[in-house]
Amino acid sequence: MTDSLEKIAKYIVSDGKGILAADESNPTCTKRFDSIGVESTEDNRRDYRELLFSADGMEGNIGGVILYDETIRQNSSDGTKLIDIISANGALPGIKVDKGLEVINDQNETITKGLEDLDVRCKEYNEMGAKFTKWRSVINIGDSIPSYECINQNMDILAKYAKIAQNNNMVPIVEPEVLINGVHDIDRAHEVSTACLSVLFEELEKKNVLIEGCILKPSMVTPGMDSEHTSTVEKVARMTIDCLKNNVPDSLPGITFLSGGQTELEATEHLNAMNQIGGFQWKLSFSYGRALQQSALKAWQGLSSNKEAAQQAFSHRAKMNKLAALGQWNKELETK
Ligand code: 13P
């Protein structure tokens, strides 16, 4: 179904499909499991991911699944490789390849580690069947941050990563996450996202990264979580589209948002509003972690007897987000 970088990227976001981000590192997965009182063992992590990957709602709604190193090597309870379950349901397996954050200055700004041995790791993942990769950079907003140093270094690293992934026949998802934490208003979020995206696309072009073979995973432009200024769905949608249109080339096949602390409903509603407004060339879709999994995790509670309920919860969100990626979602559909 896929071979070239362009085809892989196009497939992932075709017909309203999006990405399931199931690449929580073990410490992050432990945090998620703690919230439902489940121990984060290798078997529990496997059972939970197997439940998601084999849910009915995968087919036709999910075009790619981002995995963590442990998961790409795991087999299901009956011995089938988890990546084969993903493929059988019409999605492409991908892999998180960054190795987390490192502080670079006394403002606690970070860069993302993992470039040194990236080429070797990419070769192995590609042989294992991975078709795409993900690398997350983190940009914090505060009174005097982000600094130019932080933006420039992170965007340079993202572009270097993207080139290495493409050299290994895998589509890079480039994720410059502008964190939602903070008291800033939506204009400040727009300003910072603009600064990041303009440097990012300069760097990608400088390093000869094939834009047609990339996917961008940005944050939506929203006020900070603790901002005193709230915003409407319409405003978030318009400010996000504006920021993207000013900085992202039309030749990019897909933009798949992270959910970054939005509720499941907010993430769906914002995506739908953008697609209803339209007027852009790229597919605008989702690459949600929490906004695809929250209800499923709650329904599961670590019990095999809750497997079906958890699968239904996940399938529902997958369907709702596909409709949002097509601009065809509405609130009434949530209760059907
Ligand atoms: P959230 O959608 O939960 O933000 O996760 C997406 C992700 O992969 C962050 O790197």
Write out pLDDT tens, residues 102-124.
999 999 999 999 999 999 999 99
Whose C-alpha lies nearest to ligand 1, atom 5? 289
Whose C-alpha lies nearest to ligand 1, atom 10? 136
The percent of residues in the chain predicted with pLDDT above 90, rounded, is 98
Whose C-alpha lies nearest to ligand 1, atom 1? 289
The CATH number corresponding to 2-335 among 3.40.720.10, 1.10.1200.10, 3.40.190.10, 3.20.20.70 equals 3.20.20.70
Cβ of 291 closer than 6 Å to ligand 1, yes or no, is yes
Is 175 known to be catalytic?
yes
Atom of ligand 1 nearest to the CA of 260: 4
What pLDDT score does 3 carry? 67
Residue 309 has pLDDT above 80, yes or no: yes
Cβ of 218 closer than 6 Å to ligand 1, yes or no, is no
Write out pLDDT tens, residues 79-101.
999 999 999 999 999 999 999 99
| Mean pLDDT (the chain, rounded) | 97
> Catalytic: which of 17, 96, 217, 283?
217
Cα-to-centroid distance, 289 and ligand 1 (Å): 4
What pLDDT score does 220 carry? 98
Write out pLDDT tens, residues 160-204.
999 999 999 999 999 999 999 999 999 999 999 999 999 999 999
Cβ of 96 closer than 6 Å to ligand 1, yes or no, is no
CA pair distance 127, 301, nearest whole angstrom: 35
CB 253 within 8 A of CB 280: no
Selection from 335, 218, 288 nearest residue 17 by Cα: 288
Name the residue with tokens 């209803």.
Answer: 276
CB 182 within 8 A of CB 138: no
Residue 274 has pLDDT above 80, yes or no: yes
Is 217 known to be catalytic?
yes
CA pair distance 61, 296, nearest whole angstrom: 16
Cα-to-centroid distance, 119 and ligand 1 (Å): 24
Residue 336 has pLDDT above 80, yes or no: no
Cα-to-centroid distance, 290 and ligand 1 (Å): 6
What pLDDT score does 1 carry? 39
Cβ of 285 closer than 6 Å to ligand 1, yes or no, is no
Q: pTM for this one?
A: 0.98
CA pair distance 282, 263, nearest whole angstrom: 25
Cα-to-centroid distance, 7 and ligand 1 (Å): 24
The percent of residues in the chain predicted with pLDDT above 70, rounded, is 99
What pLDDT score does 299 carry? 98
What pLDDT score does 35 carry? 97
Among 24, 110, 290, which residue has the most ligand 1 atoms within 8 Å of its CB, making it the best to mutate? Answer: 290
Residue 243 has pLDDT above 50, yes or no: yes
Atom of ligand 1 nearest to the CA of 23: 8
Atom of ligand 1 nearest to the CA of 292: 2
Write out pLDDT tens, residues 22-72.
999 999 999 999 999 999 999 999 999 999 999 999 999 999 999 999 999
Q: What is the torsion angle, in degrees rounded to the nearest 10, for the CA atoms of residue 154, residue 156, residue 159 and residue 164?
A: -100
Cβ of 321 closer than 6 Å to ligand 1, yes or no, is no
Residue 2 has pLDDT above 70, yes or no: no
The rounded Cα 90 to chain-centroid distance in angstroms is 18
CA pair distance 272, 27, nearest whole angstrom: 32
Cα-to-centroid distance, 11 and ligand 1 (Å): 21
CB 186 within 8 A of CB 145: no
SS (H, E, C) 98-118: CCCEEECCCCCCEEECCCCCH
Q: Where are the domains of the chain?
A: 2-335
Cβ of 21 closer than 6 Å to ligand 1, yes or no, is yes
For 182: left if phi > 0, alpha if psi spans -120 to 50, otherwise beta; the answer is: left
The two beta strands, 171-178 and 215-216, are parallel
Cα-to-centroid distance, 136 and ligand 1 (Å): 9
What pLDDT score does 209 carry? 98
Positive or negative, the CA dihedral 308, 315, 70, 127 is: positive
Selection from 25, 21, 123 nearest residue 69 by Cα: 25
